[in-house]
Amino acid sequence: MSTVQSMPIDSLAYQRDAFIERFLNFASGTFNMFSIYIGDRLGLYRALAEAGPATSKELAKRTRTHERYIREWLEQQTVAGILEIESENHTAAARRFRLPPGHVEPLIECSSLNYLSPMAQLLVGAVRPLPEVLEAYRKGGGVPFDSYGKDLREGQAAINYPAFWHQLPEEWLPAITDVHARLEADPPARVADIGCGYGWSSMGMARGYPRIRVDGFDLDSPSIKHAKENAKRNKLADRVRFQVRDAGDPSLEGRYDLVTAFECVHDLSNPVRALQTMRRLVKDDGVVLVVDERVGDKFTPKGNDVEWMMYGWSILHCLPVGMVDENAAGTGTVMRADTLKKYATDAGFSSVEVLPIEHFFFRFYRLNP
C-alpha cells in the first residue's frame, strides 16, 4: 500500500495544503531573486538610493532604461516588499517609489558584510547552463566552470569580497596566532592561494600584511584577468601575482609559508591532486589552510542551518563542475569534515584540525604536513 493510500483523508489534505503553501513560497522567492538581479544589474536600486524616490519615468531616465519595463518592475518590487510606495493615491505615472533605508546595505553596499545582491547574480549564473546540467544528470559527466559564465564568476567574487577584504586579514588570520606572527615577520612570508577566482582572498591577505608576497592560481583565465586588474587597481600588483594554473599541476613550484584554498576544494574534480600540490608547496614549518562550507558532520533530513543553500548550489553548480574529469571525485558543495579529512590523508597530510573560527558560511581547516 502506498503512503498516500495509508493516510487518513484529513491528514492527506493537511499535508497537501501545507505543501502547496510552501510551494508557492518557493515560487515567490525565486521571482524575487530574479527581480533583484534586474534591479542590481541595471543599477535601479543604486539610482533610488543615490538620487532618492522616483516615478517610473524618472527612474527610467536616470538609468537609461525603458519606462514601461521599469514601471512593471517597480510595481512588482512593491508587491514583493522590496520597495515602498510614497502614496497609493496617484496615477500609475505619478506614483513614486522609494528604497527603504534598511534595504540599502543588503542591496547595494558592496563592501558591507551584509551585502547580499551577488546571491541573485550567482543564482542566475548557476542556472545558465541548465540544459547541460540536465544532460549531465542523465548521462553522468560534468559541466565545465566556463559554461556558467560571467554572472557566476562575478557573483562569486562579489559575495566573498567583503569577508576576504575585511575579516580575512582583520579577524581570521590574526586568530591563527603562529600564522599571524609569520605573516608579520621578516623575511617576508610567501603565500600561495589556490583557486583564487578574482583574487580577493589573495589581495585581502596582502592588504592586511604589508610585507607578504602572494601568488594566486586559478584554472579559469577570465577570473585571472580580473584578478590582475583588481590587483593593479588596488595598488597591490607589486606583491600579488596571479597565474592561470591547474591546482593539480605537478610543475607548480615554490616554497610557501602559507598555502590557502578558499571555497574551492569542493569544486575540484581532483581534490586529492590539488591537496598534494598544496602539500608540496608548503614549507616544512608552513601551514595549509582550507576554508570551505560550514556544513554538518553528517547527513540529516533537516540539514544544518546552511545546508538548504549549500545543497542548492550543489545540485546546480558545484557538483556538475566537480564531475568534469575522468575519475572525478564529484564532491559537491556539501563537503563534510570527514570527506576533507579523507582527501587530506590521501594527499599525505598527517592530520586535519577544524579551527575555532566562527563564520556563518565557512569552516576553517588547518592541514598539517
144: its cell numbers: 565545465
* Helical axes 271-281 vs 337-346, angle rounded to 10°: 60
48: its cell numbers: 533610488
Q: Compute the radius of gyration of the chain from its Cα atoms.
A: 23
Single-letter amino acid, residue 115: Y
Taking the complex as a whole, how short is the minimal distance between the CB of residue 324 and ligand SAM, in angstroms? 8
Closer residue to ligand SAM, CB minimum distance, 73 or 115: 115
Q: Which residue is nearest to ligand SAM (CB)?
A: 197
Taking the complex as a whole, how short is the minimal distance between the CB of residue 271 and ligand SAM, in angstroms? 9
Taking the complex as a whole, how short is the minimal distance between the CB of residue 244 and ligand SAM, in angstroms? 9
Maximal C-alpha separation, the chain: 75
Taking the complex as a whole, how short is the minimal distance between the CB of residue 347 and ligand SAM, in angstroms? 14
Q: How far apart are CA 140 and CA 150, in angstroms?
A: 25
Q: How far apart are CA 118 and CA 308, in angstroms?
A: 18
Closer residue to ligand SAM, CB minimum distance, 218 or 257: 218
| CB of 86 closer than 8 Å to CB of 97 | yes
Closer residue to ligand SAM, CB minimum distance, 44 or 290: 290
| H or E segment and range at residue 227 | helix 221-233
Give me the residues that bind ligand SAM (CB under 6 A), please.
145, 156-157, 160, 195-197, 201, 217-220, 223, 246-248, 262-264, 267-268
| CB of 323 closer than 8 Å to CB of 141 | yes
Closer residue to ligand SAM, CB minimum distance, 120 or 196: 196
Taking the complex as a whole, how short is the minimal distance between the CB of residue 137 and ligand SAM, in angstroms? 20
362: its cell numbers: 565557512
Enter the DSSP assignment of 11. Answer: H
Closer residue to ligand SAM, CB minimum distance, 99 or 163: 163
**Residue 280 class from Cβ within 10 Å (0-12 exposed, 13-18 middle, 19+ buried)?**
middle
Closer residue to ligand SAM, CB minimum distance, 247 or 288: 247
Closer residue to ligand SAM, CB minimum distance, 59 or 278: 278
Q: How far apart are CA 149 and CA 306, in angstroms?
A: 25
Closer residue to ligand SAM, CB minimum distance, 247 or 259: 247
243: its cell numbers: 597565474
Give the residue from 363, 362, 295, 286 showing the smallest Cα distance to 335: 295
Taking the complex as a whole, how short is the minimal distance between the CB of residue 310 and ligand SAM, in angstroms? 12
Taking the complex as a whole, how short is the minimal distance between the CB of residue 38 and ligand SAM, in angstroms? 24
Taking the complex as a whole, how short is the minimal distance between the CB of residue 218 and ligand SAM, in angstroms? 5
**Residue 73 class from Cβ within 10 Å (0-12 exposed, 13-18 middle, 19+ buried)?**
buried
